[in-house]
Amino acid sequence: MPFKRILVPYDTSKLSIKALEKAIELSMVNQPKIFILHVINEIPLPIHYSKIESKNNEVIITPLVNRLHEEIKNEMIVILEDVKDTYAKPNVSITTEIKIGEPAETIVNFTKQNNIDLIVMGSIGHKGISGMFKKLGSVARKVAEEVDCALLIVR
Protein backbone atom coordinates (compact mmCIF):
# COMPACT_ATOMS: atom_id res chain seq x y z
CA MET A 1 0.00 0.00 0.00
CA PRO A 2 1.66 3.27 -1.06
CA PHE A 3 1.55 5.99 1.57
CA LYS A 4 1.17 9.56 0.33
CA ARG A 5 1.12 11.47 3.62
CA ILE A 6 3.27 10.36 6.57
CA LEU A 7 3.18 11.99 9.99
CA VAL A 8 6.11 11.80 12.39
CA PRO A 9 5.34 13.15 15.87
CA TYR A 10 8.70 14.55 16.97
CA ASP A 11 9.80 15.36 20.53
CA THR A 12 13.63 15.27 20.02
CA SER A 13 13.88 11.91 21.84
CA LYS A 14 16.04 9.13 20.38
CA LEU A 15 12.95 7.17 19.39
CA SER A 16 11.38 10.13 17.58
CA ILE A 17 14.63 10.52 15.61
CA LYS A 18 14.54 6.79 14.83
CA ALA A 19 10.89 7.15 13.73
CA LEU A 20 11.84 10.01 11.41
CA GLU A 21 14.65 7.93 9.91
CA LYS A 22 12.18 5.10 9.29
CA ALA A 23 9.73 7.51 7.63
CA ILE A 24 12.54 8.80 5.38
CA GLU A 25 13.45 5.21 4.51
CA LEU A 26 9.81 4.47 3.62
CA SER A 27 9.61 7.65 1.56
CA MET A 28 12.31 6.44 -0.84
CA VAL A 29 9.79 4.04 -2.38
CA ASN A 30 6.99 6.39 -3.48
CA GLN A 31 8.01 9.89 -2.29
CA PRO A 32 5.13 10.83 0.00
CA LYS A 33 4.83 14.11 1.84
CA ILE A 34 6.29 13.87 5.36
CA PHE A 35 4.90 16.01 8.17
CA ILE A 36 7.07 16.45 11.26
CA LEU A 37 4.84 17.55 14.13
CA HIS A 38 6.09 18.84 17.46
CA VAL A 39 3.47 19.30 20.17
CA ILE A 40 4.17 21.71 23.01
CA ASN A 41 2.35 20.59 26.15
CA GLU A 42 0.07 23.13 27.68
CA ILE A 43 1.78 24.56 30.74
CA PRO A 44 -0.16 24.23 33.98
CA LEU A 45 0.33 27.17 36.33
CA PRO A 46 -0.35 27.50 40.04
CA ILE A 47 -3.66 29.25 40.56
CA HIS A 48 -2.09 32.49 41.81
CA TYR A 49 -0.14 32.82 38.51
CA SER A 50 -2.95 31.93 36.19
CA LYS A 51 -5.36 34.40 34.73
CA ILE A 52 -7.91 32.76 32.49
CA GLU A 53 -10.57 34.89 30.89
CA SER A 54 -13.30 34.19 28.42
CA LYS A 55 -13.78 36.57 25.53
CA ASN A 56 -16.16 35.78 22.65
CA ASN A 57 -16.28 32.12 23.78
CA GLU A 58 -12.46 31.87 23.51
CA VAL A 59 -10.21 31.15 26.45
CA ILE A 60 -7.45 33.70 26.93
CA ILE A 61 -4.49 32.47 28.93
CA THR A 62 -2.19 34.61 31.00
CA PRO A 63 0.58 36.47 29.15
CA LEU A 64 3.20 34.50 31.15
CA VAL A 65 2.07 31.22 29.59
CA ASN A 66 1.92 32.82 26.15
CA ARG A 67 5.53 34.04 26.54
CA LEU A 68 6.69 30.58 27.65
CA HIS A 69 4.94 28.93 24.70
CA GLU A 70 6.49 31.48 22.31
CA GLU A 71 9.98 30.87 23.70
CA ILE A 72 9.59 27.10 23.36
CA LYS A 73 8.11 27.50 19.89
CA ASN A 74 10.97 29.74 18.74
CA GLU A 75 13.53 27.20 19.98
CA MET A 76 11.68 24.36 18.26
CA ILE A 77 11.49 26.26 14.96
CA VAL A 78 15.30 26.29 14.86
CA ILE A 79 15.55 22.62 15.87
CA LEU A 80 12.94 21.50 13.32
CA GLU A 81 14.56 23.48 10.50
CA ASP A 82 17.86 21.77 11.33
CA VAL A 83 16.14 18.36 11.36
CA LYS A 84 14.46 19.17 8.04
CA ASP A 85 17.80 20.16 6.48
CA THR A 86 19.54 17.08 7.90
CA TYR A 87 16.99 14.64 6.47
CA ALA A 88 16.20 16.44 3.21
CA LYS A 89 16.33 14.13 0.21
CA PRO A 90 15.58 14.75 -3.45
CA ASN A 91 11.89 14.20 -4.23
CA VAL A 92 10.95 14.00 -0.54
CA SER A 93 8.75 16.81 0.71
CA ILE A 94 9.13 17.56 4.43
CA THR A 95 6.88 20.01 6.26
CA THR A 96 7.31 20.95 9.92
CA GLU A 97 4.49 22.00 12.25
CA ILE A 98 4.37 23.11 15.86
CA LYS A 99 1.13 22.92 17.84
CA ILE A 100 0.23 23.60 21.46
CA GLY A 101 -1.97 21.12 23.29
CA GLU A 102 -2.23 17.67 24.74
CA PRO A 103 0.12 15.53 22.57
CA ALA A 104 -2.09 12.51 21.80
CA GLU A 105 -5.18 14.58 21.10
CA THR A 106 -3.21 17.02 18.93
CA ILE A 107 -1.63 14.19 16.93
CA VAL A 108 -5.02 12.56 16.36
CA ASN A 109 -6.60 15.86 15.27
CA PHE A 110 -3.67 16.68 12.97
CA THR A 111 -3.96 13.22 11.41
CA LYS A 112 -7.64 13.73 10.62
CA GLN A 113 -7.26 17.32 9.39
CA ASN A 114 -4.37 16.46 7.05
CA ASN A 115 -5.57 13.09 5.68
CA ILE A 116 -2.53 11.25 7.00
CA ASP A 117 -2.09 7.70 5.64
CA LEU A 118 0.61 6.57 8.06
CA ILE A 119 1.93 7.70 11.44
CA VAL A 120 5.48 6.66 12.33
CA MET A 121 6.23 7.33 15.99
CA GLY A 122 8.40 6.20 18.86
CA SER A 123 6.97 3.84 21.43
CA ILE A 124 8.07 6.09 24.29
CA GLY A 125 8.98 9.76 24.10
CA HIS A 126 10.73 12.05 26.55
CA LYS A 127 8.54 11.03 29.48
CA GLY A 128 10.53 7.79 29.57
CA ILE A 129 9.79 5.31 32.31
CA SER A 130 7.44 7.62 34.23
CA GLY A 131 5.27 8.04 31.14
CA MET A 132 5.29 4.35 30.29
CA PHE A 133 2.13 2.30 30.26
CA LYS A 134 3.17 -1.33 30.07
CA LYS A 135 5.65 -1.32 27.16
CA LEU A 136 3.93 1.32 25.08
CA GLY A 137 4.08 5.01 25.91
CA SER A 138 0.82 6.64 26.87
CA VAL A 139 0.85 9.03 23.89
CA ALA A 140 1.50 6.21 21.41
CA ARG A 141 -1.19 4.10 23.08
CA LYS A 142 -3.78 6.88 22.94
CA VAL A 143 -2.96 7.63 19.31
CA ALA A 144 -3.24 3.93 18.41
CA GLU A 145 -6.69 3.79 19.99
CA GLU A 146 -8.01 6.87 18.17
CA VAL A 147 -6.67 6.96 14.59
CA ASP A 148 -8.06 5.18 11.54
CA CYS A 149 -4.83 5.27 9.51
CA ALA A 150 -1.87 2.89 9.61
CA LEU A 151 0.45 3.29 12.57
CA LEU A 152 4.09 2.15 12.75
CA ILE A 153 5.55 2.22 16.24
CA VAL A 154 9.33 2.28 16.41
CA ARG A 155 11.29 0.83 19.34
In a domain? residue 103? yes
Give the domain extent around 97. 5-42+76-154
How do 33-40 and 53-55 pair as beta strands? unpaired
8 A C-beta contact, residue 69 and residue 101: no
Find residue 151's DSSP bridge partners. 119
Q: What is the pTM of this model?
A: 0.83
CA 110 to the chain's CA centroid: 9
Q: Which amino acid is present at 150? A: A
The Cα–Cα gap between 36 and 12 comes to: 11
Q: Per-residue pLDDT tens for 57-104?
A: 555 566 777 888 899 999 999 999 999 999 998 888 999 999 999 999
What's the total number of domains in the chain?
1
Residue 122 in domain: yes
pLDDT: which is higher, 137 or 31: 31
Residue 42 has pLDDT above 60, yes or no: yes
List, in sequence order, the alpha helices (H) in the chain: 14-30, 63-87, 103-113, 138-146
